[in-house]
Structure 1
């Protein structure tokens, strides 16, 4: 769940999970298209810092438009965060 208000991305490993596995601050996120690494033309790599280490989450979707929307949403929340923070 991407929250513009909180400036976070909440990562769940199960659809019905009550609590997220991770809560990632958007100011530590870098999202890049990585179809070769994932083996899917609609692959997205989300890189972030956790406990002074770089971590990655790889996601994909059947629809290219959907994955581009995810990417643009992350960027929009980051821009909002920067506008508010500075």
Structure 2
């Protein structure tokens, strides 16, 4: 299980692989934890991945992981014959 460090509105946060999910073509992060003890900002329960500032390579890996699933679903739909 990978743990990712990122920044949301100037507040350092972290989240793991199990907290990342995709819905309607967008990638979201749930239950991100605040790392800054001095700054007690409340992190929203669900964040969009594009709103989070983080390492570009890690972000690409996450997006690539979910783009594969969409491609497979599309291929399955094409192969099925139409019902009449």
**TM-score range for the pair, normalised by the shorter chain length:** 0.3 to 0.5
TM-score scaled by structure 1? Answer: 0.34
In terms of Rg, which structure is larger? Answer: 2
